[in-house]
Amino acid sequence: MSMSARDLAVVTRFNGRLFWRDRTALTTSVALFLGLGIGLPLMMDRLGAGGNPRMVLDQHLGILATVLVIATFTQIATTLTARRDQLVLKRLRTTGLSDRAILGGEMGNLVLQSTLLALVTSVALYVLTSLAVPRNPALFLVAVVAGAAVLCLLGAAFTAIVPRTELAAVMAMPFFLLAGFGGGAMGPILEILPGWVGTVLGLLPTGPVVEMARTAYAADGTLAGDLRAAAVPALQLAVWAAIGLFALTRWFRWETRKS
């Protein structure tokens, strides 16, 4: 089924209104995103890491990748599972909207919201801590948007194995924790683990986001160098996007099994 830009914009705007009226979303996505995204790097800076900007940057990028999982993967898994169980998705398919517009609008909304939250978080840290502004802000923005989009796609596909709404957030928790370890949000814990553990965790979609964003913050570099450094993380995200798209197309359920 075809998807028009107008339908996609309408669904995205509608979901945006629902998002900001949803107290659960405001608590789990917005408040947690800003609280962890600003609070932990700020605490690290105040505890003495201000003299070590690299440590503050590592904390910022690790936490950012982790809270992106909450705002995208977990949020869309919970939202779509709830709407599936309430037969909202089934009813939306009778309105004339294409399947792509329905799912794309939800993903587009969460990508937009999470990108705005990431920018607010980053600007707050630029003002409140020793964290420097990225040398290549465009690449940083691309890393956030691409990471959010891929995580939304994977979260939508993940709903296929979620039996009911109450279990969506719980079942997504392991991925959240693994993303935190892999991104460095839990501190230098990977240094005491076998090397292969860090290698495996780095293959998660949050790993390329962190690497691409780190390239944007590198003090020295050129546009050509940035593109070369971002090529491998971009390819990893593309692979995850292909996996998510295949799973979404193959196994996504629009209604409960009982119905």
pLDDT in tens, 189-234: 666 667 777 788 888 899 999 999 999 998 787 888 899 999 999 9
Q: What is the mean pLDDT of residues 172-182?
A: 82
Helix, coil or strand: residue 136: coil
* Helices (H) then strands (E): counts for the chain: 12, 0
Percent of the chain at pLDDT > 90 equals 54
**pLDDT one-digit tens code per residue, 68-126:** 999 999 999 999 999 999 999 999 888 888 899 999 999 999 999 999 999 999 999 99
**pLDDT one-digit tens code per residue, 40-66:** 889 888 887 556 778 889 889 989 999
Describe the crossing of helices 99-128 and 32-46 by its angle, rounded to 10 degrees.
Answer: 20
Report pLDDT for 257.
66
Report pLDDT for 185.
64
Neighbours of 51 (CB within 10 A): 9
Question: 3-class secondary structure for 69-132?
Answer: HHHHHHHHHHHHHHHHHCCHHHHHCCCCCCHHHHHHHHHHHHHHHHHHHHHHHHHHHHHHCCCC
Residue 127 pLDDT class (50, 70, 90 cuts): very high
Report pLDDT for 259.
46
Report pLDDT for 125.
94
Return the domain boundaries, the chain. 5-251
Minimum mean pLDDT among 7-11, 71-75, 181-185: which range?
181-185
Minimum mean pLDDT among 100-109, 142-151, 160-169, 176-185: which range?
176-185
For all residues of the chain together, what is the average pLDDT? 88
Helix, coil or strand: residue 174: helix
**Cα distance between residue 209 and residue 151, in whole Å:** 11
Name the residue among 36, 29, 27, 39 with its Cα closest to residue 71.
29
